């Protein structure tokens, strides 16, 4: 077991960041932050502890100082640089340590922990290889077409659809707890991403692009609840779910890992809160109703993997504001870990749950309809 690689709050005066060098720098190749790979290598040369400083001279200029041994200047904006580095560092999160990853609101520090039952080195199997290691491969649509007017006319504000990812390497030999940990670990890669009505998390349309307005207040990269649940199951295990919230909530069989075979989904109906908490398992998907009684939201149960200071069960989802953590601090909009208390909207308006992991051992030969594209914007 290791430690979470934390990213402290960053302000306009700059900040000092500690980087534990025991993490192989090659893991930082997993996002667009590959251009910072050489910096991360220099920070992992076997020193007992490495520190570097960030200083900001202007909004578009950042200097990284590694004990005075050198610096790196980038043309990225300060916020973009912090975002990209934070996403990379977040992927080094492992068990039994406080979560503190990049957020659109960098002063937010989550009080929650994740205690995986398997080593992160196993949970990230394959993530260093194509297509997982390149955000430009999140869609089967070539990256150079993502922002073309033709795509704008065809797909509008939603942007490119997610690709079908391969099955996780060695999936047939994995036990259910590994599969659960893998899906949760995968979902945490996007902690801090805003809530947006997009199919893939790293699609970042220009300002003039069509936009379904959300509480975040502007268009950006990001993802909504049902596209998020489909994407982390797809990315982590190769199981692509419908992205429309209601088709996803109603469908009881999908294509199996890598798009092959037919995978059955078990449904868990509403029971009293105490009983529900006992019955749910990590990586179960829970569907939540709106004021009209229609399913309008989906969250993922963390179970024993998520640890809260007040012992309240935890979930991860992409949603708007109105949630507070165990310290009473408002949780920012977007992808975050949130509490599932008995008095929460989640618990009060819980409809039913889906258990997908169990179906992996029950995949049968045959065909079923491919996942439909949609989102959380349904009448």
262 and 190 in a common domain: yes
pLDDT at 250 over 50: yes
**Domain limits for position 358:** 98-379
pLDDT for the residue numbered 359 = 96
List pLDDT tens digits, range 78-96.
Answer: 444 444 454 444 333 333 3
Q: Is the pLDDT of residue 254 over 80?
A: yes
Q: Would you give the DSSP letter of residue 370?
A: P
Positive or negative, the CA dihedral 213, 112, 236, 350 is negative
Based on the fold, state whether residues 153 and 238 are members of the same structural domain. Answer: yes
373 and 236, same domain (yes or no)? yes
The answer to which of 8-22, 197-211, 265-279, 295-309 has the lowest mean pLDDT is 8-22
Residue 374: pLDDT band (50, 70, 90) is confident
Is residue 67 pLDDT above 60, yes or no? no
Give pLDDT, residue 108.
87
Q: Are residues 85 and 103 in the same domain?
A: no
Mean pLDDT of the chain: 79
CA geometry: angle at 123 spanning 118 and 126, to 5°? 155
pLDDT score of 278 more than 90: yes
Q: Work out the pLDDT band at 379, boundaries 50, 70, 90.
A: low
On whether both 76 and 47 belong to a single domain, the answer is: yes
Say yes or no: 105 and 85 in one domain: no
Residue 369 clears pLDDT 80, i.e. is over it: yes
CA angle (341 as vertex; 357, 345 as ends), nearest 5: 90
Number of domains in the chain: 2
Q: For residue 362, what is the domain's CATH number?
A: 3.90.1720.10
Co-location of 105 and 211 in the same domain:
yes
Residues 104 and 205 both lie in one domain = yes
Percentage of the chain modeled with pLDDT above 90: 67
* Residue ending a domain, choose from 65, 92, 119: 92
Helix axes of 225-237 and 176-187: crossing angle, nearest 10 degrees: 130
Instruction: Please check whether residues 43 and 187 belong to one and the same domain.
Output: no
Tell me how far apart the alpha carbons of residues 169 and 306 are, in angstroms, rounded to a whole number: 25
Q: Which of 68, 92, 116 delimits the end of a domain?
A: 92
Taking the C-alpha atoms of residue 285 and residue 188, their distance in angstroms, rounded to an integer, is 15
Same domain, 54 and 150: no
The residue among 92, 122, 143 that closes a domain is 92
Is residue 78 domain-shared with residue 152, that is, in the same domain?
Answer: no
Same domain, 234 and 313: yes
């Amino acid at each position: 077991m290791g430690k979470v690689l934390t990213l402290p709050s960053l302000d306009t005066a700059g900040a000092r960041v500690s980087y534990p060098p025991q993490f192989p720098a090659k893991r930082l190749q997993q996002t667009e932050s590959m251009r910072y790979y050489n910096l991360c290598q220099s920070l992992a040369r076997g020193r007992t502890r490495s520190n570097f400083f960030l200083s900001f001279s202007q909004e578009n200029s950042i200097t990284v100082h590694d004990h005075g041994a050198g610096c790196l200047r980038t043309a990225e904006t300060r916020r973009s640089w912090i975002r990209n580095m934070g996403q990379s560092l977040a992927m080094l999160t492992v068990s039994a340590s406080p979560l503190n990853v990049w957020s659109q609101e960098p002063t937010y520090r989550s009080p929650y922990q994740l205690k995986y039952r398997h080593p992160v080195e196993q949970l990230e199997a394959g993530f260093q290889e194509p297509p997982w290691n390149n955000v430009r491969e999140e869609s089967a649509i070539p990256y150079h077409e993502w922002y073309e007017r033709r795509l704008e006319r065809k797909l509008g504000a939603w942007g490119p659809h997610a690709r079908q990812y391969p099955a996780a390497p060695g999936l047939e030999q994995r036990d259910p707890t590994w599969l659960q940990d893998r899906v949760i670990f995968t979902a945490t890669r996007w902690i801090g991403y805003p809530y947006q009505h997009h199919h893939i998390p790293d699609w970042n349309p220009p300002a003039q692009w069509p936009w379904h307005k959300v509480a975040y207040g502007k268009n950006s990269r990001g993802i909504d609840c049902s596209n998020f649940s489909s994407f982390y199951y797809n990315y982590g295990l190769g199981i692509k779910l419908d992205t429309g919230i209601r088709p996803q909530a109603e469908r009881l069989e999908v294509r199996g890992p890598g798009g092959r075979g037919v995978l059955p989904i078990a449904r868990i109906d509403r029971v009293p809160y105490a009983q529900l908490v006992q019955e749910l398992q990590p990586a179960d998907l829970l569907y939540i109703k709106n004021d009209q009684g229609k399913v309008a939201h989906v969250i993922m149960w963390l179970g024993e993997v998520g640890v809260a200071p007040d012992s309240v069960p935890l979930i991860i989802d992409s949603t708007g504001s109105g949630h507070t953590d165990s310290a009473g601090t408002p949780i920012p909009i977007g992808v975050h870990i949130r509490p599932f208390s008995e008095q929460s909207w989640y618990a009060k308006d819980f409809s039913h749950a889906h258990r997908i992991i169990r179906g992996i051992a029950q995949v049968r030969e045959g065909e079923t309809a491919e996942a439909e594209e949609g989102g959380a914007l349904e009448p």
